[in-house]
Homo-oligomer: A and B are copies of this chain.
Amino acid sequence: MSNPINLADKLAQFSEHWSPRIVGVFNGHDLMVVKAKGEFVWHSHPDTDDFFLVLKGRLRIELRDGDVVLGPGELHVVPKGVEHRPVAEEETELLIIEPAGTPNTGDPDTAVTKVSI
């Protein structure tokens, strides 16, 4: 018998904001947990949609044509190429999914290195 991936346990292992940790893989995508607080940068991903599922807290995804606000158990997919800026007033925990190697800022020069835990 093997163990499932417990998202809360994974999130308890780090405290940095906007620094995704890889917890699994699925069809060439990284499954990641991330802690968000404050404003991220405006960015887009030319080659991939961006999946956000809020586990705890509250995330506002600012879009050029209006915002989407997510609470726990709510998800939103930003289509590829669409500019967005995630903002969390309080510390917020997320499951995000991106193709392996996708820079989190949309730009390899400013992206953080994603570590597996």
Q: Are B4 and A74 closer than 8 Å at their CB atoms? A: yes
Q: How far is the CB of A41 from chain B (nearest CB, A)?
A: 21
Q: Is the interface of A mostly helix, strand, loop or mixed?
A: strand
Q: Which residues of B have CB within 8 Å of A83?
A: none
Number of chain A residues close to chain B: CB under 8 A: 35
Q: Which of B2, B8, B29 contacts A68 (CB 8 A)?
A: B2
Q: Contacts of A3 on B, CB cut-off 8 Å?
A: 68
A56 to chain B: closest CB distance in Å? 10
Known: A1-B69, A24-B75. 6 other contacts (CB 8 A): A1-B68, A3-B68, A4-B70, A4-B76, A25-B77, A26-B51
